[in-house]
Amino acid sequence: MTTMTVAQALVRYLAAQLGEDGRPLFAGVWAIFGHGNVAGLGHALFEVQDSLPTLRAHNEQAMGHAAVAFAKANRRRRMMACTTSIGPGATNLVTAAATAHVNRLPVLLLPGDVFANRVPDPVLQQLEVPTDPGATVNDCLRPVSRYFDRIQRPEQLLASLPQALRVLTDPAECGPVTLALPQDVQTEALEVPDAFLEPTVRRVRRAHPDPRELQDALRVLRGARRPLLVAGGGVLYSEAEGALAELAHALGAPVAFTQAGNGALAAADPAWVGGLGVTGSAAANALAADADVILAVGTRLSDFTTASRTLFPQARLLMVNVAGFDAVKHGAQPVVGDAQVILLQLGAGLAGARAEPGWTARAAELRGRWLETVAEVTAPGPGLPTDAQVLGAVARVAGPDSVVVGAAGGLPGELHKLWRPAGPGSYHLEYGYSCMGYEIAGGLGVKLACPEREVFVLVGDGSYLMLNSELATSVALGAKLVLVVLDNRGFGCIHRLQASTGGEEFNNLRPGGPEIDLVAHARALGAHAEAAPDVGALPGALARARAAERTAVVVIQTDPARGTAEGGAWWDVAVPEVSPRPEVMQARLQYERARGGGG
């Protein structure tokens, strides 16, 4: 037994956790110190810097996003923790926690809390609830956490930490964990068993399916003439991309991708037919509409993927997922278990089974047409460039060793349609929560996870202005990013959606006034920065950014009114049923026709 504070026991326990590859499970702790954590956790972290590094950020939400991106880039095999003081620092974590929860990604949140003994109440930053003296702002983190605990007594840590690690490393329950730490309890001493701090290897559990579910799925797939595979993020988290490719090639089946699953196969693979759904390719969506069996692996099939549940109502749907909660969605026939295990077992059980030759040939033809379309819409053109034309220039400079990062606005749709991933890890989009402000902090997390790769962050001016503080952090850490800011002077994506639903332009594009000098701003945060006057000058600017020794920013003005019309599918966005604007009523009529006709 060793006597130490709660904070010391916590950080030493974290430092003792190892991944399957022998590396520390926790790569570090993001920290913004305040009176609620500096004396307890701050002192404890100072003592373990060699085994558990502390990284300082500029914004709590951003450091949460960086931790989320780090875990995603590591396929949930490694993770980070975040600590804040009580008050606004803690509530700033809520958005990052929600992002992690929606995307099923592990991050450990360690917000400080008010005094458990309540002697000095009310303390600075304490929110008081007259009917509940035990409530604090950290309770905001309960609904966005997969596991939440408030450590009110030192001994509780010994029971709560193993539960926290169980959730963080469980494939089905994975998500954010919050341990709220009252500032007095952080500094209190307890007797810690030596075994509690011994190195512990955290292995990924690979759940095998129920044999009956597997046999049911095999019967359906053996009878499939026009099968389509759909790869979600679970394929990557299970490291099942090899098994996916083997099954697709053996069946002669095309593979479409969600945002999280994109990159599971390289675009050069003949089975690859692009993204599926609202932001998908014409090839994938046409095949989905004609498929007789859909095998969806590691996805919860959100409305963007299914075109608001209109894209493949004719198909028999099989869902492979490690979480039973997700496997039964959309009335699917479930196969619950690890994606890699199940895909390998399906491949063995389907030996000799094959799609109709005409189906495989049609998939190849549609894939070829779509790649031609991608080349056309991403080629340089006159006037203000489209997002697609900017993506084309970035793709030509980035190369196969890079990672593209994005999150919100119009760019995820353009990337899902048009980016040709080089393979696993090359495409990093946060689109489960579509969180504006994720991009720069997320890019930083990706770079920390993959320091050997060039990280290209694509961000609109709206997201850039919303959360750009970690640009300075990337410079300070030497974690170089190449940032491409597409300046359409507002929220161009929502401007287009507003117009498509009959609305007059309102509150989306920036009003008149002084121009915002994004180049000067980026330079002020320590980055190399320049503006590209047009799409023709963009490759040269990108090449200089790639060659720069520190984070580099390239700003280019883009057209807010034009998106890629090719590809895509219907999306259920409700239009007002009554309006004095004829444009709205016309949009409502089109909406009712689309909804009644299945999209």
**pLDDT tens digits, 510-546:** 877 668 999 999 999 999 999 999 999 999 999 999 9
The predicted model gives 501-512 an average pLDDT of 84
- pLDDT tens digits for range 578-598: 999 999 999 999 999 888 765
Task: Summarize pLDDT for 93-106 with one digit per residue, the tens.
Answer: 999 999 999 999 99
Same domain, 64 and 168: yes
Q: Is 593 within a domain? A: no
Sign of CA dihedral 329, 253, 72, 527: negative
Confidence of residue 599 (pLDDT cuts 50, 70, 90): low
Helix axes 357-377, 282-290, angle to 10 degrees: 150
Say what the pLDDT of residue 597 is. Answer: 61
Task: Check whether residue 193 and residue 220 sit in a common domain.
Answer: no
Backbone angles phi, psi at 396, to 5 degrees: -70, -25
CATH number at residue 94: 3.40.50.970
The verdict on residue 594 lying in a domain is no
- What is the C-alpha to C-alpha distance for residues 342 and 319, in angstroms, rounded to an integer? 11
Report pLDDT for 454. Answer: 97
Summarize pLDDT for 448-498 with one digit per residue, the tens. 999 999 999 999 999 999 999 999 999 999 999 999 999 998 888 888 888
Q: What CATH number does the domain containing 355 carry?
A: 3.40.50.1220
Alpha-helical segments (H) within 479-551: 492-500, 518-524, 538-547
Work out whether the CA dihedral 520, 524, 529, 535 comes out positive or negative: negative
Exposed/middle/buried for residue 561 (C-beta within 10 Å: 0-12, 13-18, 19+) = middle
From 331, 347, 370, the end of a domain falls on: 370
Residues 451 and 362 in one domain: no
Query: Could you say which DSSP state residue 41 is in?
Result: I
Please give the Cα distance from 427 to 188 (Å, whole number).
45
* 338 Cβ contact partners less than 8 Å away, ≥ 6 residues apart: 171, 205, 206, 207, 208, 238, 240, 322
**Pair 307, 570: CB distance under 8 Å:** yes
- On the CB side of 461, how many CA atoms lie within 13 Å of its CA? 22
Instruction: Single out the residue in 370, 396, 416 at which a domain terminates.
Output: 370
Q: Phi-psi region for residue 580, left (φ > 0), alpha (ψ -120 to 50) or beta?
A: alpha
| Distance in angstroms (rounded) separating the CA atoms of residues 456 and 463 | 15
Residues in the chain: 599
Domain range for 440 is 378-557
Do residues 349 and 486 share a domain? Answer: no
The pLDDT of residue 198: 96
Asked, for residue 566, whether it belongs to a domain, the answer is no
How many angstroms separate the CA atoms of 71 and 445, rounded?
Answer: 8
Same domain membership, residue 524 and residue 401: yes
β pairing state of 227-231 and 2-5: unpaired
The answer to the question of residue 124 being in a domain is yes
63-97: pLDDT as tens digits? 999 999 999 999 999 999 999 999 999 999 999 99
Residues 413 and 334 in one domain: no
pLDDT of 30 over the 70 cut: yes
**Which structure tokens are listed for 92?**
């700033």
Answer whether 0.85 is exceeded by the pTM. Answer: yes
pLDDT at 513: 63
